[in-house]
Structure 1
Amino acid sequence: MSNNNQGNGTAQWNSRFGYIMVAAGAAIGLGNIWKFPYLAYRGGGGIFLIVYIIIIAIMAHPMVEMETAIGRHSKSDTVTAFEKINKKWGFVGWMANLCTLMINMYYVVVGGWVLKYAFTYIVSGDFGEDKGAFFTDFTGSTVEPIVWTVLLLAFVSILLLFGITNIVEKVTKVMMPLLFVFLIVCGIWALTIDPKAIEGLKYYLIPDFSKMNVKVFADAATQVLFSVGIGWGIFTTLGANIPDKNNLKSDAILVSVCDTAAAVLAGFVIIPSAFAGGFDVQKGPSLVFEVMTNIFSGLPGGRIIGSVFFLALSFAVISSLFSFFEITMRTFEIKLNMGRKKAVGVVSGIILAGNVLVSLGFGIMKNFKLPWPYFTGVEYYGLYDWFDCFTGYVLLPAGCLLTCIFVWKVWGFKAYEKELTSNGRDGKLSSFSKALTMVVVPAFMIIILLNVFGFIQ
């Protein structure tokens, strides 16, 4: 751990590179590597890619700046970060904690699936004749998915006992560069397997403007929220450990660029591979597990590249969970005065209870449904889909909307600019940035919220 501590004892990052890798690791996860390619494919390829990059620039980048500045200002947990500026606004931090707890309840389960697939590739590479049946049988079983979930949860929790600026920072500094190397290797390999792969690359990179519509925009905006990890306290939590010498504006740009690069690389791997293998990538949550195993099984060296791909995906999952867990562990440790060990134990226990329910929701509890209010009536979702919808389409946009209001109306642009730019050392807060905070980002969030409840389609 760095010896350069803040006055309240909050440990700082050992290096700027370490922070960037942990922050990028938090942003880069399953959302980038399986959800982004599926949405890009469905959204028309090149046109979706352009819209996504524009939204990263005008929505994600300023949100990362705002959350990080709030975190560095408080040098504490997510709840205290808001309360330090205004006592009445701690509820935004509690909402972020609820959001991240619920995301962890299904994210760790899917992460367990990734570990299972990586292990199977390395040991045998045998997924049977019917890859879809293998996936369904595994995820629908009662015990084995929970075992893999517990292994993943225990690994992440044990490392976090030592704090996120100690062992976790060192591990992530190695894992994140390896993830990019693995994705690049997989991408180059994908382009050599079949001439059709080049057609897939063209579809992915060359925009067809006739395919632009509201659905493409809504999908891209929602994907940015989950993929970058804005609206749920990630950067507020990580920002608490950033030293005053760091330039928050340039750090936010680097994190946004790393996240975008990972998503673009994932599309570069999966879409050409799918074209080459003649597979439809519109598979949703089972995309990586069914489509990619089918593709790899029919190609020379498929087991090797499958092992590398799922190892890369494992790295992405683990690096995300470090920060996902830390949000609530930090809050329980500081705000509830639990101390580090007890906070790690309590949070891990809560997440595990949710993991068991969500995992069983794919098997013996698959007929258990929860109601979702919709403009035209009530719909019913399984546990995974309900948690995903409530966190990704309600809590994340609500968190971003409230953060914008908080910075603009409660903290004020003058005080925010002082923290963001270190008293003007790193430039000024532009009028464009203020317009994004007051108008553009809130408008995007309202569109997402109206869409999820069926008011606009």
Structure 2
Amino acid sequence: MDNKKDQWSTKLGFILSSAGAAIGLGAIWKFPYMTGTNGGGAFFLLFIAFTVLIGLPLLIAEFIIGRGAQKEAVSAYQKLAPRAPWSLIGHWGVAGAFILMSFYSVVGGWVLIYSLLSIPGKIIQENADYPELFAAITGSPLLTIAGLALFVLLNIIVVSFGIKDGIEKASKLLMPLLFVFFIVIVIRSVTFDGAMEGIRFFLQPDFSELNAENVLYALGQAFFSLAVGISVMVTYSSYLKKDVSIPASAGSVAVMNIFVSLLAGLAIFPVVFAFGLEPAEGPGLLFIVLPEAFAQMPFGELFLCLFLLLFLFAVMTSSFSMLEIITSAFTEKKERSRKKVSFLAGILVIIAGIPAALSSNLLAEFKIFGKTVFDASDFLVSNIMLPAGCLFIALFIGFIMDRTLIKQEFSNGNKLQGGTYLIWFQLMRWIVPITILIVFLSTLGVI
């Protein structure tokens, strides 16, 4: 199958699918606990600043590279800059997406298990011990691997149908449901007694506790939540029609991502503070703290079920993009079947994800630089591969890619965007790479 014959059927489908790629674990799972452990409102403000000033320009850049080349990630860089090292950016992205999906799918498996348990009301029980439940699920090698495999299988099914009939149709259904469920949860969350303290923690910045590491995490969170740096959006935009405005589409994705992050904070922190729980719980925040909080409210099981289904929808739409970049890299030639390649890629993801799935049980004592396989994979992708990939892309756009093609794809024939183009291009050429380098060097203690 020639996957280049496949295109997004509508602009809305592209935006929802791209937003779905960005809105997932980054916005709903990782953002709340990163905010809770890195300064609350100050972290959120930094995250917004990095998203607008660094993430959005990079998102536009990936859209331009993908549609300009009309190729998936690997082939796009090979076409636009055949000589190494620039043509290796696509390979870097595929490798990053593969590693990311291997541990991402572990959490996806947890969400899937929790969602299945919540439907018949098996989570919130009288005298339930939620830390023990989380430990029992993550501590079971069989359950974690089964959850991982089932989650990846669902991705294989959707991605095997292609862009228009698979990813776009799923995103058009799941993304609106995600927003409806989220708004219901937020309305309930902010009406608790004591919720205002959680809102202040989340929205009122206090920069006294910030350090270089917090800043790096905020930058990494902006990259992670927008899915930039591993060329996922290069692949998605390669299916984009020429009459769609790239800056407007990228802006819509960024705004939706910030809005969902805001909703995530408003859904979680008011509940956490209203019930006297700990906002710095870490990765277990959604699986331990929230069930405990929902257990104390009327219709708590219903709201928990809605939240977990919402969470599952977001995780799925995000993981589609990771499997898509891996699959599309190997389906450029007609003789390669998308269904077979997506199946084989999914099987490899499951195999690669097993060590991360076992990090909370059989391999809990196995450390890489003091981190479990899961945590080491997360750190490698979020704090090294994503920022490095973003740096490579910024340099590629600023100094390597053909300027005429860049301007053509950015402006799309609209002369009014000329001034905006100049601002964006200078950001990409100087501000974005310099900011990434400064944050890196500061974290390493060099400056």
> Structure 1 residue 447: deviation in Å?
3.6
Within 5 A, what are the aligned runs for 1:290-309? 290-309=288-307
Distance in 1 of aligned mates of 2:415 and 2:243? 10
1:357 aligns to 2:348 (yes or no): no
RMSD (CA atoms): 2.0
> Structure 1 residue 193: deviation in Å?
2.5
Within 5 A, what are the aligned runs for 1:281-360? 281-334=279-332, 338-360=336-358
Asked if the contact 1:79/1:335 (under 8 Å) is kept, the reply is: no
Within 5 A, what are the aligned runs for 1:7-86? 9-86=4-81
Distance in 1 of aligned mates of 2:313 and 2:228? 20
1:118 aligns to 2:118 (yes or no): no
Cα deviations by residue, 1:280-319 (Å, 9 ceiling, x for unpaired): 1212221110111111112221101100000000000110
What is the match of residue 413 of structure 1? 403
What stretches of structure 1 move > 4 A for 4+ residues in a row?
209-213, 423-426
Asked if the contact 1:247/1:421 (under 8 Å) is kept, the reply is: yes
User: When the two structures are superposed, what TM-score results if normalisation uses the length of structure 1?
Assistant: 0.92
Distance in 2 of aligned mates of 1:213 and 1:395? 22
Distance in 2 of aligned mates of 1:437 and 1:168? 30
Distance in 1 of aligned mates of 2:384 and 2:185? 35
Distance in 1 of aligned mates of 2:328 and 2:364? 34
Distance in 2 of aligned mates of 1:389 and 1:432? 32
**Structure 1 residues 209 and 366 mapped into 2: Cα distance closer, same or farther (>3 Å)?**
closer
2:15 alignment partner AA: I
**Structure 1 residues 276 and 247 mapped into 2: Cα distance closer, same or farther (>3 Å)?**
same
Distance in 2 of aligned mates of 1:340 and 1:171? 17
1:95 aligns to 2:92 (yes or no): yes
1:384 alignment partner AA: F
Distance in 2 of aligned mates of 1:388 and 1:120? 27
> Structure 1 residue 219: deviation in Å?
2.3
> Structure 1 residue 34: deviation in Å?
2.2
1:244 aligns to 2:242 (yes or no): yes
What is the match of residue 222 of structure 1? 220
Asked if the contact 1:19/1:169 (under 8 Å) is kept, the reply is: yes
Q: Give the stretch that moved more between structures: 45-54 or 183-192.
A: 45-54
Asked if the contact 1:176/1:315 (under 8 Å) is kept, the reply is: yes
**Structure 1 residues 108 and 313 mapped into 2: Cα distance closer, same or farther (>3 Å)?**
same
Distance in 1 of aligned mates of 2:258 and 2:310? 16
Cα deviations by residue, 1:191-212 (Å, 9 ceiling, x for unpaired): 2222x11221123223335455
Distance in 1 of aligned mates of 2:165 and 2:247? 24
Which among 433, 438, 441 is matched to residue 432 of structure 2? Answer: 441
What is the match of residue 105 of structure 1? 102
Which among 394, 399, 407 is matched to residue 404 of structure 1? Answer: 394
**Structure 1 residues 456 and 43 mapped into 2: Cα distance closer, same or farther (>3 Å)?**
farther
Q: Give the stretch that moved more between structures: 264-273 or 166-175.
A: 166-175
Q: Give the stretch that moved more between structures: 197-206 or 59-68.
A: 197-206
Asked if the contact 1:418/1:424 (under 8 Å) is kept, the reply is: no
Asked if the contact 1:160/1:326 (under 8 Å) is kept, the reply is: yes
**Structure 1 residues 271 and 338 mapped into 2: Cα distance closer, same or farther (>3 Å)?**
same
Distance in 1 of aligned mates of 2:439 and 2:30? 17
Aligned-pair identity (%): 31
What is the match of residue 378 of structure 2? 388
1:18 alignment partner AA: G
User: When the two structures are superposed, what TM-score results if normalisation uses the length of structure 2?
Assistant: 0.94
Within 5 A, what are the aligned runs for 1:363-382? 363-370=361-368, 379-382=369-372
> Structure 1 residue 261: deviation in Å?
0.7
**Structure 1 residues 426 and 95 mapped into 2: Cα distance closer, same or farther (>3 Å)?**
farther
**Structure 1 residues 389 and 46 mapped into 2: Cα distance closer, same or farther (>3 Å)?**
closer
1:430 aligns to 2:429 (yes or no): no
Asked if the contact 1:141/1:363 (under 8 Å) is kept, the reply is: yes
Asked if the contact 1:222/1:448 (under 8 Å) is kept, the reply is: no
Cα deviations by residue, 1:45-76 (Å, 9 ceiling, x for unpaired): 33332222121111111111100010001212
Distance in 2 of aligned mates of 1:127 and 1:149? 23
Q: Give the stretch that moved more between structures: 197-206 or 95-104.
A: 197-206
2:215 alignment partner AA: F
**Structure 1 residues 236 and 9 mapped into 2: Cα distance closer, same or farther (>3 Å)?**
closer
**Matched residues, number:** 441
